Amino acid sequence: MKSATSNRSAVIFGLFVLFAVAPLSADGLEDGKILLERATEGLFNESLPRATLRELLDGGLEAFGEMKESCERDYWQAQAAYLFGFVEQGEGRSKEAERRFTQGFELAERSLSCGEFSDGYRLLADTQAQLLMYNGMLYKMQYGPTVREYAEKALDLDPGNIKARLNLALYYKNAPAIAGGNEKTAREILHQIEGTSGLEPLDRFSVNVWLGISYAESNNAPAARKYIDQAQEIFPGNTWLQEIINEHSL
């Protein structure tokens, strides 16, 4: 994977669209979602300072902590911890980023203790994929395949889980061939998702970015630029896209 891609590659999954702030609700779920959605938009479009992102995510964790149902609470706190990992990563705080991703993984595991559900496994795939970046080769060999296993389990439970399908595509995109990586399979899955109606903005962004990267690495500059331009239309403030353009001379 090229440097710009590997540095920013994982800020892609399990994210939401922007809403306005609402008054505090009874159990914190809706308030936590709103704060998480604002932080997600601010991170992706690079429209909010890091200090504001931290405030939003701290508030989200606190709001989700008010939820009465333990497994649902763990799931939403895992989502917030996962996003918090990228904020830490963006500030070069590697140990804190790893701690946040570990927290997200552990909370996602706990969320499944009340019963299996698709997004629980999808979030395990998300967080485990990040933890691979902070550990050595033995760890990657042992736990790398679990990213695909979690994504496949999520799809078994809900074949329509777009974010789990994105996880699977990126596993094939980024894994070494000896571990099952396959660029052709990754691109086929991404094109399947591309043809799905009603995609959330961040899912459309992810598909366009990764198709752009795939075509750039295959030296198909016109196709690559088309997809990167489409991603820029969704989040014009995202500087990662310009890094991809510069790196691949698109």
Q: 116: which 2 tokens?
A: 């299996």
Cα 31 to Cα 63: distance, rounded to the nearest angstrom: 6
Q: What is the pLDDT of residue 175?
A: 87
Q: What is the mean pLDDT of the chain?
A: 88
Q: 79: which 2 tokens?
A: 């989502």
Q: 161: which 2 tokens?
A: 């889980």
**Cβ neighbour number for residue 55 with a 10 Å cutoff:** 14
What is the architecture, at CATH level 2, of domain 3-248?
A: Alpha Horseshoe (1.25)
Q: Residue 185 — very low, low, confident or very high, per pLDDT cuts 50/70/90?
A: very high
Q: 181: which 2 tokens?
A: 């990586």
Tens-digit pLDDT profile for residues 59-99: 999 999 999 999 999 999 999 999 999 999 989 999 999 99
Cβ atoms of 177 and 189 closer than 8 Å:
no
Q: 147: which 2 tokens?
A: 């990213």
Cβ atoms of 196 and 216 closer than 8 Å:
no
Q: What is the pLDDT of residue 9?
A: 41
Tens-digit pLDDT profile for residues 94-138: 999 999 999 999 999 999 999 999 999 999 999 999 999 898 888
